[in-house]
Structure 1
Amino acid sequence: MTPSDQIRAQIAAEGKPVLLGFSRGKDSLASWLAMREAGIAVVPYHLYLIPGLRFVEESLAFYEDFFGTKILNLPHPSLYRWLNAFVFQPPERCSIIEAAQFPEPTYQELAEEIRDDLDLPGAWNADGVRAADSPNRRMAMVTHGPLKEQTRRVSIVWDWRIADVRAALDRHACPLPPEYEWFGRSFDGLDFRFLDKIRRHAPEDYQRILDWFPLADLEVFRRELRP
Structure 2
Amino acid sequence: MSKALHETRKSLDDARARHEACLVSFSGGKDSLAVLDLCSRTFERVECFFMYFVPGLECVERQLEYARKRWGVIIRQYPHWVLADVIHNGTFGKDWVGYEDVPIIELSDIHAMAREESGIALIATGAKKTDSLWRRRMLQAQGKAGETLIYPVVEWKKLDVLAYLSAHKIPKPDSSGRNATGIDLSAPSLLWLHDTYPDDFKRLCELFPFAEAVVWRRTFHAVA
Under TM normalisation by the shorter chain, which class is it?
0.7 to 0.9
Question: 1:19 aligned to 3, 17, 23, which one?
Answer: 23
Which deviations, in whole Å up to 9, do the C-alpha atoms of 1:189-223 show, x marking residues without a partner?
21321222221221111110110001111122223
Decide whether aligned partners of structure 1 residues 81 and 132 sit closer, same or farther in structure 2, where only a CA change above 3 A counts.
closer
Structure 1 match to 2:168? 172
Q: Distance in 2 between matches of 1:80 and 1:135?
A: 20
Q: Distance in 1 between matches of 2:94 and 2:74?
A: 37
**Aligned AA (1:97):** Y
Structure 2 match to 1:162? 158
On the 8 A contact 1:191/1:219 being kept in 2, the answer is no
TM, length-normalised to structure 1: 0.81
> Do structure 1's residue 97 and structure 2's residue 95 form an aligned pair?
no
- Secondary structure of the structure 2 residue equivalent to 1:73: strand
On the 8 A contact 1:127/1:155 being kept in 2, the answer is yes
Runs of 5+ consecutive residues of structure 1 not aligned to the other structure: none
Could you say what the CA RMSD is over the residues aligned between the two structures, in angstroms?
Answer: 2.9
**Aligned AA (1:175):** P
- Secondary structure of the structure 1 residue equivalent to 2:55: coil
Structure of larger gyration radius: 1
**Equivalent residues in 2 for 1:27-66, closer than 5 Å:** 27-66=31-70
Decide whether aligned partners of structure 1 residues 146 and 96 sit closer, same or farther in structure 2, where only a CA change above 3 A counts.
closer
Aligned residues: 213
Structure 2 match to 1:224? 219
Which deviations, in whole Å up to 9, do the C-alpha atoms of 1:167-196 show, x marking residues without a partner?
32123211133x33x535522421321222
**Equivalent residues in 2 for 1:186-205, closer than 5 Å:** 186-205=181-200
TM, length-normalised to structure 2: 0.82
Identity of aligned residues (%): 27
Q: CA deviation at 1:64?
A: 0.8
Q: Distance in 1 between matches of 2:133 and 2:56?
A: 35
Q: Distance in 2 between matches of 1:147 and 1:169?
A: 24
Runs of 5+ consecutive residues of structure 2 not aligned to the other structure: 1-5
On the 8 A contact 2:12/2:39 being kept in 1, the answer is yes
